[in-house]
Amino acid sequence: MRVFQVFLVAILLGVTLRAASAAETEAQAVELLGQVYRPQVVHSEGRTGWSLSDPEVLRLVAQTTTRMSWSSDGETLYFSGSVRESQWRPGSPQVRVDGNEQPAPGRLLGRGKGACMEPEALLFALALKPQSRGARVVAMPEVPAPRLEVVAGQRALRIPLASALRVQPTRLRADTLRLRFPGCAWAGSQQTLVRDDVQVAISEREGAVLMDLRFPPNWQGEIRSGRGLTEVLVGWRASFPPIRAIREVTSLGFSAETAASGVRVQAEGPFEYHWSFDRSTHRLTVDMPGLREPASLPVSRTPQGGWESFRFRPVGTSEQPVLRFEGDLAAGHGWQFVEGESTPGLLFLRSTPTAQVGSLAQTGSSATAGYASSRGVIVLDPGHGGGDPGCVNRSLGLLEKDVTLDVALRLRDMLVEEGWTVLLTREEDRDVSWRGSPDRVELQARCDVANQSGADYFISLHCNASVASARAGSSIHWFKQADLELARSLEFALGESLGLGQDGLRHDGFYVLRHTDMPAVLVEMAFLSNPREGALLGNAGFRQRIAQSLAGALQEHVSGRYAQGAEVPGTVPR
């Protein structure tokens, strides 16, 4: 019935227009993101257009994020879209675009039901760039320049879309996120833009717009949720460990002291710093998380002690302050960090002739003297213990509680070496609460260790078991949204990389995951009930390898870095 009505309307319209203009009508093919539309071409006032009541035109409009409506007096046609808004008056050679009057690329002809629009005008109003391919017009959604906005207290880039489409993100390098807009055209004329800290490079290749977003060193871009598919929202977050202490800066600027002249940063307490050197620009960038910017931030444009210029600026948020130093080194100069040995929280950024500089890495992290822990606090929870043996492999004489404790102790030593503060829920074969306590009390006691220490992470270690002895593999269990990122980082640490089965990433409501305040995961290392995996768990060398893999994955998780040049898939907003 509906199909019939639409058909009838189309025929009637065709007939009406034919009668009105006394000209022949023919369909024109327009392609938008693989869909083909065939609006009837009508002739009116000596011009060629598409009827705005043509069902094919309405279908095309509906495929975009732009909405079309007439003013109540029927004298103005409004197009409101996420890329642009425009107002059209019948017959006018001008159009109002985002509040500015400008020459129209085509005209609106007639009013109400009889209105039609020249194709270039309609496509412009819909933010579609036409490209003719033979008899067919390919309409490519325009990709506008990203807009810098503050979303939920954090800076973000908003890229509105002219039509719903799937943007394909790829991480080109640790600091560069590529967005691919298939079937789209770049709306701007510039090929490079700077938005706050982000360098944007745009290119068009194989019918797609490629937008490469390069974030500052030590920061990573990520797609955040936007409003459905009508836009892409990209944010960036620090890839260094969470800020543990916020310090006031007591002195900042160039100081020529005999012992250590250079740019001096003195805070009320010890702090961490992360540096990165860009060979092409000769710029050293140092991020100091937790340092709150003082009232005045020194900027020097005159060379001082080998620095061509330098400046300080805040790049974090008010809750998570990060102070950044950017210094441009004079030709033939390198840099050196000199920490105040007896003064915690004192750092000199010195420029020295390259010959004097040792083999300092291009990027790295360190902390001033007196920094207690550079990595954070982690609670390891060896599953079971004391009166609760956990699962048991009788033929191997192996108890889960012994395996979990042994791996936890090994993992603790490795993490301490790497600068973590590590707490264990138990360091020996005992119950954490008391022998014979109900499960809920015992598990809550484990959560309490983590919650009361304000730990950054909680990892519960277990071995799996099944009546089916063939079942094998390691699995990582998470519950809260905050757990997921940690779970993903550990997903492939065990499993196939250690010659175990891979039993996957699981969403489970385990007590210790539900009642911990921080990102938490429960690791089922392998199946103790599986003859092969059970034998591996009984081997001290293998337990050492499990601990090494977990330590490595945790380290990678906090540094948040991907291997240079590796491409990892990002996420698509949904």
> Which tokens go with 137?
């017009």
As measured in angstroms, the least distance from the Cβ of 465 to Zn ion is: 8
Q: Is 376 left (phi over 0), alpha (psi -120 to 50) or beta?
A: left
The burial class, CB within 10 Å (0-12 / 13-18 / 19+), for 95 is buried
Binding segment for Zn ion (CB under 5 A), chosen from 195-203, 284-292, 293-301, 383-391, is 383-391
- For Zn ion, which residue has the nearest CB? 462
In the stretch 262-301, what mask flags binding to Zn ion with x, by CB under 5 A? ----------------------------------------
**Based on CB atoms, which residue is closest to Zn ion, 244 or 477?**
477
In the stretch 332-361, what mask flags binding to Zn ion with x, by CB under 5 A? ------------------------------
In the stretch 438-467, what mask flags binding to Zn ion with x, by CB under 5 A? ------------------------x-----
Binding segment for Zn ion (CB under 5 A), chosen from 111-119, 158-166, 218-226, 390-398, is 390-398
As measured in angstroms, the least distance from the Cβ of 396 to Zn ion is: 16
Q: Is 196 left (phi over 0), alpha (psi -120 to 50) or beta?
A: left
**Maximal CA-CA distance, the chain:** 96
* One of 334, 390, 473, 495 touching Zn ion (CB under 5 A): 390
Cα 440 from chain centre: 37
Residues 557 and 424 sit within 8 Å (Cβ to Cβ): no
Q: Does 386 bind Zn ion (CB under 5 A)?
A: no
Return the closest-CA partner of residue 79 out of 127, 46, 45, 27: 127
Q: How far apart are CA 551 and CA 534, in angstroms?
A: 22
**Based on CB atoms, which residue is closest to Zn ion, 328 or 381?**
381
Q: Does 383 bind Zn ion (CB under 5 A)?
A: yes
State the residue for tokens 């012994």: 402
Phi and psi at residue 563, to the nearest 5°: -60, 145
Cα 349 from chain centre: 31
Q: Does 316 bind Zn ion (CB under 5 A)?
A: no
Q: Is 194 left (phi over 0), alpha (psi -120 to 50) or beta?
A: beta
As measured in angstroms, the least distance from the Cβ of 389 to Zn ion is: 10
Q: Does 106 bind Zn ion (CB under 5 A)?
A: no
Contacts with Zn ion by CB under 5 A: the residue count is 3
CA distances, 84 to each of 144, 184, 467, 496 (Å): 9, 16, 63, 50
As measured in angstroms, the least distance from the Cβ of 467 to Zn ion is: 15
Question: What residues are paired with 34 via a beta bridge?
Answer: none
Binding segment for Zn ion (CB under 5 A), chosen from 120-128, 310-318, 362-370, 379-387, is 379-387
As measured in angstroms, the least distance from the Cβ of 464 to Zn ion is: 8
Binding site for Zn ion (CB under 5 A): 383, 390, 462
